[in-house]
Chains A and B, each alone.
Chain A
Amino acid sequence: MTTARPMLGSVVALAMACLLAAACPASAQDSLGQPANTPPDETSFIFRRVPDITITPIEGSPVTLSALGRSSPLVITFIYTRCGGVCSPFLESLAAAARQTGGLGSAYRILVLSFDSRDTLADLRAAARAHGLAADQGWIFGAASSPDIARLARATGFWFAWHWSSGQYDHPSLLIAVDQGRIVRMLAGATIPPSRFREITDELRGKFVPSYPAQNRRVAFRCFRYTPGGGIQIGWGFLVLLAPGALAISSALWIFARSRGSAS
């Protein structure tokens, strides 16, 4: 008897929890990875092979990632359609950067995957239409099974965490450039500067990308700065390079000028 009442209470609590879980839009099981304030470290993922998951695009039949990447390299990104935060402005920024840099559809395609298991193809189609991208052959909106999304997310450092308080996911905005099944470049950030996006597309076109920006470091005396258009600006570091020669010449001139009297 003494045990019956607590047992009954446990059953009621469990039943209420199940009901609540069913009613809520997502559960804690939908979170993946460790939230972090810094973007994934590209050096940990570069040249890693991505898992060959199956994707169901909003148009057409299911297809593997390797089959999608066979015709052209891919820029993969993760969103979810109910996002009240970064996803929508991020897609706008990405679309604008893609327009400015060119080559979308011919040199590469953008694969937008939902990481939210509640998103249906209809949701994704609506999101694509809302951003005016549904008819663009360069864009592929699609979904994949939760295990496949989890595999791809782990392979690329992507994470998402459900926030009960806001009813929203916390997640980074991430671009992953994949060529021949391997990650060749990554870019994190809510807005996509065209200059940085050009680095990605150049990489996918097989062009050699000569620079990486140093992050979180105060660098003094840079030799050169590269402008988004590919131009070069000379920095103070270049003047530092001229200093030894100038010092040597002025020292020599001073020594010879000082000794001129005794020489004559």
Chain B
Amino acid sequence: MPLPVAGDGLWQEGEARAFRRLTLAWMGTMMFLFSTMLLLGYFMRLFQANAFRTMRPEWFYAVLTLHGLGMVATWFVGGMAATGYLLTRYSRPSIWISRLALAGTLVGAGLLAAATLFGLFGTGWYFLYPLPFYSSGVWPPWATGCFFGALALLFSVWTIWVLDLLRAIASRFPLRQALGWHVLSGRPSLGVPSFVLVATVSLIAGAAGLAAGMVLLGLWAVEWLRSGYSNDALLMKNLTFFFGHIITNITMYLGVGVVYELLPGYAGRPWKLSKALAWAWNTVLLLVVLAYAHHLYMDFAQPRVLQDTGQIVSYFLSVPAAVVSIFGGLALVYAAPMRWTLASWLFFLGLMGWAIGGVGAVIDSTVALNSRFHNTLWVPAHFHTYYLMGVVLMLLGFAHHLAVDLTGEPERPAMRHAILALLAIGGYGFLLAFYWAGAHSVPRRFAAYPRELSQGVAAARVAVVFIALIVIAVALYLWETARRCWRAFSA
């Protein structure tokens, strides 16, 4: 049944319809941004395959910046919108704050596009200190201002949105229930869905990540406006990855939360809030703010104890949540009266992709291995695994679930098979090219590879074939889903 359910004491009919339309607008935004960023990613791999020999490399770095930030922003807001929609079953997230977030996201995305595509701002998503101030004439000062303005706007509206969803959870569940502490102390689940636990953990962590982002922007602004003052490069890098790592992590967690809530509907069984689940996600809450330290293994000024902490925490962060989710997902599906649709397949494949990418991440977070893999294509390999084949599938699954739920139009099995086959073959083929190149020490962030790194060109040429399959799959998906979303929106 489409949410929010009108007449359940929480929602009036008009409000419920408005919230549905707003969620459809979010999904439309998500699909549009995803398609655009996907094509930009395609452009980058074509660039590395030497398809644009006469083009300036500055274009590659500008597109790299937009693609990285754009994808993270797209799936973060997609996960937030899906979480907000599913929360309407239990409480009342503010429709106005969600609208504010949508407007802020659209303006912020426009500013980012202007800074990168018109200003050629090309620092990469991580805009490591002090690179934005040293453009070497590649980008003008207005592009730097535009970029930081976009981030300030995005962080502001997202922080308000995160706090509002937390408020919505708090209006229904006390903190100890929302975090599953009552289950840990041996009491029954009291009807607290596991989705609420994952959402609470993600939102608290998200608030920390966004706060780090705001502090970071404040320090950038002070240095920009006050000459003679400079920031500590190590602090700036710590804050950058504190914010960046948490936002990407909680995006995945938000996607997993959606799967916890919706996959049981297809399996005909509940995904209960168990003690193991509560332990795992409370561990995540405890450790997620520390795991970013594995991004600073090469920063020799960082004390050794923090490097060791980064490795240990990365293990304890990845393993429990992934194990309970994978095991729980398999147990849910095994011998269940499963209704396999495009949405349920995407949820299931997304969960598995998240686990596979997690293995790659754990390998990369091991200091001894990171010293070999650091800044090779292994890194984009693992994060594309748990993004493209993980949370992206989960949230595409959500959008399709919503579209079918609201229109009631049955899906076409042939189309479903084509989309899934193309996504799986294209996605994993594309990733294997990254993994293979990473294992051969091909560095990342190279617009064009010199002759000594010709393996990078070969891998990019293989990758573009598989990306073409992904593009076809996404086009078919949009035909199936975006059309339904538009119809539901217009109704």
A-side residues, CB < 8 A to B, are 208, 210-211, 214, 217-224, 226, 232, 235, 237, 240-241, 243-245, 247-249, 251-253, 255-256, 258-260, 262-264
A selection of 12 A-B contacts at a CB cut-off of 8 Å is A220-B229, A220-B231, A222-B234, A223-B232, A241-B239, A244-B209, A248-B208, A248-B211, A252-B204, A260-B174, A263-B172, A263-B173
A206–chain B nearest beta-carbon distance, Å: 15
Contact of B101 with A by CB under 8 A: no
User: In the docked arrangement, what's the CA distance between A223 and B219, Å?
Assistant: 14
Chain B: minimal CB distance from A234 (Å): 9
Assess whether B300 is interfacial by the CB under 8 Å rule: yes
Are A244 and B242 interface neighbours, CB within 8 A? yes
The answer to whether B174 and A248 have CB atoms under 8 Å apart is no
Q: Is the CB of B174 within 8 A of A263?
A: yes
A211 to chain B: closest CB distance in Å? 5
Contact A241 B303 (CB under 8 A): no
Known: A218-B228, A235-B232, A255-B167. 20 other contacts (CB 8 A): A219-B232, A221-B219, A221-B232, A222-B235, A224-B302, A226-B301, A241-B239, A244-B215, A247-B211, A248-B205, A248-B207, A249-B204, A251-B163, A252-B203, A252-B204, A256-B174, A256-B175, A259-B170, A260-B170, A262-B171
**Given A217-B230, A245-B289, residue A263 in contact with residue B171 (CB < 8 A):** yes
| B263 CB contacts on chain A under 8 angstroms | none
Supposing A211-B301, A221-B235, A240-B235 touch, asked if A252 and B175 sit within 8 A by C-beta, the answer is: yes
Q: Which residues of B contact A264 (CB under 8 A)?
A: 174
Contacting pair A218 B238 (CB below 8 A): no
Please determine whether B175 and A224 come into contact, CB atoms closer than 8 angstroms. no
Whether A263 pairs with B170 at a CB distance below 8 angstroms is yes
Q: What distance in Å separates the Cβ of A264 from its nearest Cβ neighbour in chain B?
A: 8
* Residues of chain A lying within 8 A (CB to CB) of residue B239: 240-241, 244
Query: Which residues of B lie under 8 Å from residue A232 when comparing CB positions?
Result: 303
Chain A residues lying within 8 Å of B172, measured Cβ to Cβ, are 263
Question: Could you say which residues of chain B place their CB within 8 Å of the CB of A241?
Answer: 235, 238-239, 242
Contacts of B208 in A (CB 8 A): 244-245, 247-249
Shortest B374–chain A CB gap in Å is: 15
Is B113 close to A, CB under 8 A?
Answer: no
Consensus secondary structure, chain A interface: helix
Neighbouring B residues of A219 by C-beta, 8 Å: 230-232
Please report the total number of B residues contacting A with Cβ < 8 Å: 36
Q: Is B212's beta carbon under 8 Å from chain A?
A: yes
Closest chain-A Cβ to B169's Cβ sits at a distance in Å of: 8
Contact of A259 among B171, B207, B219, B235 (CB under 8 A): B171
**B448 part of interface (Cβ distance < 8 Å):** no
For residue B46, CB closer than 8 A to chain A, the reply is no
Chain A residues contacting B174 (CB-CB under 8 Å) are: 256, 260, 263-264
**B166 interface contact, C-beta 8 A:** yes
B238 touches A223 (CB 8 A): yes
CB < 8 Å neighbour of B301 from A220, A224, A248, A258? A224
Q: Is the CB of B230 within 8 A of A223?
A: no
Whether a CB of chain A sits under 8 angstroms from the CB of B267 is no
Q: Is the CB of B234 within 8 A of A237?
A: yes
- Partner of A223 from B163, B211, B234, B243 at Cβ < 8 Å: B234
The docked-state distance in angstroms from the alpha carbon of A226 to that of B209 is 28
For B209, the closest partner residue in chain A by CB is: A244
Q: CA separation between A226 and B205, bound complex, in Å?
A: 31
Q: Are B300 and A244 closer than 8 Å at their CB atoms? A: no
A168 to B295, CA, bound (A): 53
Closest to B219 in A: A221
Q: How far is the CA of A150 from the CA of B174 in the complex (A)?
A: 78
> Min CB distance, B193 to chain A, in Å?
15
Q: Is B403 among interface residues, defined by CB-CB distance under 8 A?
A: no
- Which chain B residue lies CB-closest to A264? B174
Contacts of A226 in B (CB 8 A): 301
Query: Chain B residues near A210 (CB, 8 Å)?
Result: 300-301
B431 at the interface (CB under 8 A from A): no
Complex Cα gap A256–B171 (Å):
8
**CB pair B211 A243 closer than 8 Å:** yes
B346 at the A/B interface (Cβ < 8 Å)? no
User: Judging by beta carbons under 8 Å apart, are A214 and B170 in contact?
Assistant: no
Question: What residue in chain A is nearest B238 (Cβ atoms)?
Answer: A241
Cα distance A263–B166 in the bound complex, in angstroms: 13
**Residues on the B chain within 8 Å of A255, using CB:** 163, 166-167, 170
Question: What separation, in Å, do the CA atoms of A262 and B10 have in the docked complex?
Answer: 13
- State how many angstroms separate the Cβ of B184 from the closest Cβ of chain A: 17
Question: What is the CA–CA distance of A263 and B90 in the complex, to the nearest angstrom?
Answer: 12
Q: Taking the complex as formed, is B49 at the interface, i.e. its CB lies under 8 A from any CB of chain A?
A: no
* Complex contact B170–A221 (CB within 8 A): no
A85 to chain B, nearest CB (A): 31
Q: Give the docked Cα–Cα distance between A253 and B208 (Å).
A: 13
Please pick, from A208, A220, A263, the residue contacting B300 in the complex, using a CB distance under 8 A. Answer: A208
Rounded to whole Å, the gap between the CB of B226 and the closest CB of chain A is 10
Contacts A241-B239, A260-B174 given: A248-B204 contact, CB under 8 Å?
Answer: yes
Q: How far is the CA of A256 from the CA of B203 in the complex (A)?
A: 13
User: Which residues of chain A are near B173, meaning CB under 8 Å?
Assistant: 263
A214 to chain B, nearest CB (A): 7
A247-B207 contact, Cβ under 8 Å, with A240-B235, A241-B235, A241-B238: yes
